[in-house]
Amino acid sequence: MPVGVLALQGSFNEHIAALRRIGVKGVEIRKAEQLDNVSSLIIPGGESTTMAKLAELHNLFPALREFVKMGKPVWGTCAGLIFLANKATGQKEGGQELVGGLDCTVHRNFFGSQIQSFEAEVPVPDLAAKEGGPPSFRAVFIRAPAVLEVGPDVEVLASISIRSTEIVDPSQEAQPDTKVIVAVKQGNLLATAFHPELTIDSRWHSYFVKMSVGNNEIVASSSSSSSYEDQESFLYNKQPKTDLPVYE
């Protein structure tokens, strides 16, 4: 069974392309009944309020919540992280509906507006141990959220060190080099505040595919794909270059 990618709005095409690079088929999901035909689901980055309104319009929230409860792997990137959180702060007036399931509190626009988007080298020890490659990941943050609190069953996979002056959320009493959580995992749920689909590094997609326990077809397809080094060498000159500030 292929990996579903919620295709209401946002970077769903980029996720499907990233899956293709590791030999896995991704399919667009727009209707509740389509979830019956996929083994796992990616909720992409985009405009979370717009995505929520479209999901409500298509009556997708009950099916998405049931998908999560069934224990099928779900990965949320950026806006998808907000969707999966049990609680979100910094929302627009009236808030937005959430899928929930991930025991954490997310600040919707922790890093600020679109013009405050940036790139950063994020340490990813667990990802590197399982997928190889360098010990850090070049992460793209676009009007990004952040995880403020996590429950006892949530595993923190990545944090970023930032200066207190760069924290937009006024409720956070941050000190210099404060660490902010930007990637977590809880059971069948994976969430990243950044956009792996906008990079040439496919390790997060491979990591997620391997969460599909018992789906031998997907795991075998992923494991037979080219190595991280081969993918990076082949794709580097084909990937559009970003022009965002870099936090060293």
- Binding-site annotation, residues: 46-48, 108, 142-143
Question: In sequence order, what are the residues at sequence separation of 6 or more whose Cβ sits closer than 8 angstroms to the Cβ of residue 127?
Answer: 133, 137, 157, 158, 203, 204, 207
| Residue the block writes with tokens 């298509």 | 58
Q: Does residue 195 have an active-site annotation?
A: yes
Give the C-alpha separation, 90 to 109, whole Å.
6
> Are 178 and 102 in contact, with CB atoms under 8 Å apart?
no
Secondary structure (3-state) at 139: strand
Q: Which residues are annotated as a binding site for L-glutamine?
A: 46-48, 108, 142-143
Q: Does residue 78 have an active-site annotation?
A: yes
Give the C-alpha separation, 190 to 178, whole Å.
23
Give the C-alpha separation, 76 to 183, whole Å.
10
From 15, 107, 195, 205, the catalytic residue: 195
From 15, 78, 104, 107, the catalytic residue: 78
From 14, 119, 131, 197, the catalytic residue: 197
Query: Would you name the residues annotated as active-site residues?
Result: 78, 195, 197
